[in-house]
Amino acid sequence: MKTRRFFLYSIIYIGLIWLAVFSFVNQNYAVNLFGYNLDIPIATWVILPLVLFAILALFHMSYYGFKIYLDGRAMRNDAQIYNTLAKEIYLGLESNKDFKTDIFNASSEVTKSLSPWLNLGKPNLQNDDLRLAYELYCDVKSGKVCELKKFKLLKTNPLYIQNEKNKIKADYKYAISVLSNKETNDELISAASNALIENGTFLELSKFNPTYTNSDIFILINRYVKDNFEISTNDIFATISKVKFTSDEYIQIAKILKSKIEPDLLISMFDRLRNEEPSALEAYLYLLYDFGMIDQLREIIASENSKFERIETLIFLRDHGKITRADLFY
C-alpha cells in the first residue's frame, strides 16, 4: 500500500473509531502527567494508541520505501554495469566490473566463463547448483562420462548427447546398445556406427548392416591389414562391393591389400571387381604389373579401347630394359 493512501485510510479509520466510542461514552477522563492535568474525552484516549501505531507505521513504510528506492537505483546501475561487462566480453576484453548488489555476481561470472575469445579461467560461483552445473558441463565437454539421471534431461539435449558420445568413446560396445535402441537420434547413430567401424568385429557390424562410406571402407581395410579386424576374403570383397570408388581409390585399396592377401586371391578379387565396376579396371592392371603378370596385362590392354597412360608407360620402360616399380607412378 502506498504511504499517502495508508495515511488517508488511517485518518478515516481513527476518525470512525473516535465517533463510535464518543457516541457510546460521551465523557471525559482526566490524567495527571508531570503535574499537568490532562482532561480529554474517553474516545480520544481510545484512539491515542491507534494514532501512535499509525505514526510508527508511517515511519516504517517511509524507511523501507526509501530503502527500496535506493536498492532499485543500485539494481538499475548494476544492470548498466552488467551490460557494459557483457559488451566487453563480446569484444574480447578482460572485463572486471564491481557491482553494488549481489544480484549480478553469478550472472557476471557465468558471462565471463562463456567468453568467445578469451579463457578467463574458472568462474567463482557461490551458488552450489550453478557451480555443479558448470563443473558437469566442463567434465562432459572434456570427454568424461558423467551421471545425468538426476537432471532428467531430454534425449535431444546437447549435454545428454555429448555424454552418450563420451560413453561410446570410452567403451565401443556401448555403441551396440545405442544402435539397438530404435528411438536413438541420427547424431548418436552416426557416432555409434563410427565407433563400431573403428573398433567393432565383423560380426558386430553385420548385426546392424550399416551403410558404409568410402572412408569407412578404408578404415576397415587398414584394420584388416593391421590384424585387428578378422574378416574373410569373400567378406572383404562383399564389403568393398557395397560402395562405389573412383579409379584412384580402387588403386589405393589394391596397394593396401597386397601386403595382406596372397597375390592369386587379390588378383581374383579385383578381376571380379572390374567385371562389376569398370572403375576398378586400372587397379586390376596395377596388380598384374606389380605381380609380374605382364603377358596377361598386355592382352587386357590390347582388348580395351581405353588408354592407361601410367601402365603403358611402365610397360614401355620395361620393354626398353628399365624395369620400374609401379608405385613410382601410383
Domain segments of the chain: what residues?
Answer: 1-118, 247-330
Q: How many residues does the chain have?
A: 330
Q: Where are the beta strands (DSSP E) in the chain?
A: 28-33, 36-41
* pLDDT on residue 146: 95
Which grid cell is 78? 548494476
Which grid cell is 49? 494508541
Q: CB within 8 A of 37, min separation 6: which ones? A: 30, 31
Q: Where are the beta strands (DSSP E) in 34-106?
A: 36-41
* pLDDT on residue 1: 58
* pLDDT on residue 311: 87
* pLDDT on residue 80: 93
* pLDDT on residue 105: 87
For residue 203, how many other CB atoms are within 10 A of its CB? 9
Q: What is the pTM of this model?
A: 0.71
* pLDDT on residue 326: 82
* pLDDT on residue 276: 92
* pLDDT on residue 210: 83
Mean pLDDT split into 10-residue runs, the chain, 330 residues: 85 93 88 82 92 93 90 91 89 85 88 83 85 91 93 91 95 92 88 94 90 94 94 93 94 94 94 93 93 90 83 85 82
User: In the block, which residue shows the cell 592382352?
Assistant: 299
Contact 146, 140 (CB under 8 A): yes
* pLDDT on residue 306: 77
* pLDDT on residue 157: 92
